C-alpha cells in the first residue's frame, strides 16, 4: 500500500500529469454520454483534421485559409454526392440480390450438411445435424424479422443521411477556416500546465497522420485488387464483395477472417464444391497474404508499431464499449493509449530528475 500511496502522491503532485488526466477523462465522458447526439460534430472534426494538411499545402500557394477551406469543403461535398449517386445504388442493388438469394444458399448448405452423416457416420450423427439446423433456422428467422422491423426506419435514416451530407461539409468548412479561434477558445478551459498534453498530442498527431494516409491507400488498393480478381474469376456481386473486402482492412486480422465467410458462401452458391470455388478462396487468401506481408509493411513503416495482440485487444475492447464506431476507431484510439503510456513515465520521473544533482564529469578538470 505504501508503494501505491507514494506513486499516487508523486503523480498527482505533477500539474502536467493532472492536466493530461483531466483532458483524457473529460474527452472520454463526452464521448460516452453525448457521442450519439454529437456524432455529426465529431465526424466534422475528424474530417477537418484529415484535411488540415491539404489546407496548408494550398496556403503555401499564397491562398488564404478561408478560400482553401471553402474549396476543400466543396470538393468533399461533391465527392460525397458523386459516390452516393453512382456507387451506392449499385452496392444496394447487389446487397438486395444477395438477400433474395439467401434462402437458396441456406437450402444448399442444409442439403450438404444432411449428407455428412452418411459420408462420415463415425464423426457426426443425424441428430447433431438436425440440432444445428434447428438453431441456425431460428437465428436466421430472428435476423429476417429484425431486418423487416428496422426497414420501417429506413426513410428516417435516409433523411438523416441527407442532412449529414449537407451539414457535415458545412461544419468542416467552419472548423478549417476558424481553426485558430476554436483552438484558442478551447485552450481557455484547460489549465496552463499543458507541456505533457502537448507532447502526447504531437506523438498522436504524427502517428495518426501516418496511419490514416496508409490506411486510405490500403483500402483503395485492396478494393481494386479484389474487384479485378473476383471479376476475372467470374464471381457474382464482385462490386459489393470487393468493397467489403477493402473496408475490412479497417479491422486488422478480424476483418479479413470475417470476410472469408461471405466470399465462400457466394462462391459455393454459384459453383458448389467445384474447382472454381477453390480458385476463389485461394485467390482471396493470396490477396490477404500480400496485403499483410507486402502492402502493410510498406505503407505503415513509419506508423505506430503495435503488436498484433494489442491490435486485436483494442478492437475487442473498444468494439465492446462503443460498438461499430469503437471497432472503426480502435487503432487510432490504441495509438492515443500508446502515446500516453510512452509519455507517462517521463512525467512521473521528471520531478525526481530535476532534484538530482548533476553527475560528475569523468574528464579531468583543466
CA distance 36 to 292: 34
At residue 45, the pLDDT reads: 84
Q: Which residue has the cell 480458385?
A: 279
DSSP state of 177: H
CA distance 203 to 336: 8
Q: What is the pTM of this model?
A: 0.67
In the chain, % of residues over pLDDT 70: 74
Provide mean pLDDT across the span 198-208.
73
Q: Write the CA distances from 8 to 2, 14, 17, 22, 26, integer angstroms.
A: 10, 10, 11, 15, 20
pLDDT average, residue stretch 173-187: 87
Residue 13 neighbours by CB under 8 Å, 6+ apart: 351
In this model, does residue 166 exceed pLDDT 70? yes
Q: Where are the beta strands (DSSP E) in the chain?
A: none
And the C-alpha cell for 158? 435516409
User: pLDDT tier at 71 (50, 70, 90 boundaries)?
Assistant: very high
Position with higher pLDDT, 323 vs 149: 323
With cut-offs at 50, 70 and 90, classify the pLDDT of residue 148.
low
120 has a pLDDT exceeding 90: no
Interval 18-38 mean pLDDT:
73
Rounded CA separation 11/348 (Å) = 6
Over 80: is that where the pLDDT of 67 sits? Answer: yes
Q: What is the pLDDT of residue 145?
A: 60
- Quote the pLDDT of residue 158: 57
Highest mean pLDDT among 6-20, 99-113, 234-248, 311-325: 234-248
Q: What are the backbone angles phi and psi of residue 188, rounded to the nearest 5°?
A: -65, -20
Q: Measure CA of the first residue to CA of the last residue in the chain; give whole Å.
A: 50
pLDDT of residue 146: 57
Q: Model confidence at 341, in pLDDT bands (50, 70, 90)?
A: confident
Distance CA 337, CA 346 (A): 15
When pLDDT is cut at 50, 70 and 90, the band that residue 359 belongs to is very low
The mean pLDDT value for 52-81 works out to: 89
For 229-267, the pLDDT digits (tens) are 999 999 988 888 998 999 888 877 778 888 998 899 888
Taking only the tens place, the pLDDT of each residue in 287-310 is 999 988 888 777 765 555 667 777
- At 307, is the secondary structure helix, strand, or coil? coil
Q: For residue 240, count CB atoms less than 10 angstroms from its CB and return exposed for 0-12, middle for 13-18, buried for 19 or more.
A: buried
Half-sphere exposure of 108 (CA within 13 A, CB side): 14
User: According to the model, what pLDDT value does residue 162 have?
Assistant: 66
Contacts of 147 (CB under 8 A, 6+ apart): 99
**How many percent of the chain have pLDDT more than 90?**
14
Q: Does residue 143 have a pLDDT over 70?
A: no
pLDDT of residue 117 exceeding 70: yes
Region 15-38 average pLDDT: 72
| pLDDT surpassing 90 at residue 339 | no
What's residue 285's pLDDT? 93
DSSP letter for 37, please: T
Using alpha carbons, list the distances in angstroms from residue 31 to 28, 34, 165, 220, 272: 5, 5, 22, 29, 47
pLDDT at 161: 66
Is a pLDDT exceeding 90 seen at residue 133?
Answer: no
Residue-level pLDDT at 163:
67
At 36 the pLDDT is: 66
Can you tell me whether residue 281 is helix, strand or coil? Answer: helix
Mean pLDDT, all residues of the chain: 76
Amino acid at each position: 500500500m505504501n508503494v501505491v500511496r507514494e506513486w499516487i502522491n508523486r503523480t498527482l503532485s505533477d500539474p502536467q500529469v493532472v492536466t493530461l488526466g483531466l483532458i483524457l477523462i473529460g474527452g472520454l465522458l463526452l464521448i460516452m454520454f453525448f457521442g450519439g447526439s454529437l456524432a455529426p460534430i465529431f465526424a466534422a472534426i475528424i474530417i477537418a483534421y484529415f484535411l488540415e494538411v491539404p489546407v496548408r499545402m494550398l496556403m503555401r500557394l499564397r491562398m488564404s485559409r478561408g478560400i482553401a477551406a471553402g474549396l476543400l469543403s466543396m470538393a468533399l461535398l461533391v465527392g460525397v454526392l458523386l459516390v452516393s449517386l453512382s456507387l451506392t445504388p449499385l452496392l444496394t442493388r447487389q446487397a438486395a440480390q444477395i438477400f433474395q438469394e439467401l434462402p437458396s444458399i441456406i437450402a444448399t448448405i442444409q442439403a450438404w450438411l444432411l449428407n455428412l452423416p452418411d459420408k462420415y457416420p463415425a464423426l457426426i450423427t443425424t441428430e447433431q445435424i438436425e440440432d444445428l439446423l434447428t438453431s441456425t433456422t431460428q437465428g436466421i428467422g430472428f435476423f429476417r424479422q429484425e431486418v423487416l422491423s428496422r426497414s420501417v426506419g429506413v426513410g428516417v435514416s435516409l433523411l438523416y443521411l441527407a442532412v449529414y451530407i449537407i451539414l457535415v461539409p458545412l461544419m468542416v468548412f467552419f472548423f478549417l477556416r476558424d481553426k485558430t479561434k476554436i483552438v484558442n477558445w478551447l485552450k481557455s478551459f484547460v489549465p496552463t500546465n499543458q507541456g505533457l498534453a502537448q507532447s502526447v498530442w504531437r506523438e498522436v498527431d504524427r502517428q495518426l497522420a501516418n496511419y490514416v494516409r496508409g490506411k486510405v491507400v490500403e483500402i483503395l488498393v485492396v478494393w481494386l485488387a479484389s474487384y479485378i480478381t473476383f471479376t476475372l474469376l467470374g464471381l457474382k456481386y464482385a462490386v459489393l464483395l470487393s468493397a467489403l473486402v477493402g473496408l475490412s482492412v479497417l479491422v486488422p486480422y478480424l476483418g479479413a477472417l470475417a470476410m472469408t465467410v461471405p466470399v465462400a458462401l457466394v462462391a459455393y452458391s454459384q459453383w458448389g464444391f467445384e474447382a472454381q470455388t477453390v480458385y476463389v478462396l485461394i485467390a482471396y487468401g493470396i490477396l490477404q497474404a500480400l496485403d499483410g506481408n507486402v502492402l502493410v509493411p510498406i505503407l505503415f513503416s513509419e506508423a505506430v508499431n503495435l503488436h498484433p495482440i494489442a491490435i486485436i485487444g483494442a478492437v475487442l475492447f473498444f468494439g465492446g464499449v462503443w460498438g461499430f464506431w469503437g471497432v472503426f476507431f480502435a487503432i487510432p484510439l490504441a495509438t492515443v493509449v500508446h502515446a500516453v503510456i510512452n509519455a507517462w513515465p517521463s512525467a512521473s520521473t521528471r520531478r525526481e530528475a530535476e532534484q538530482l544533482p548533476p553527475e560528475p564529469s569523468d574528464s579531468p578538470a583543466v
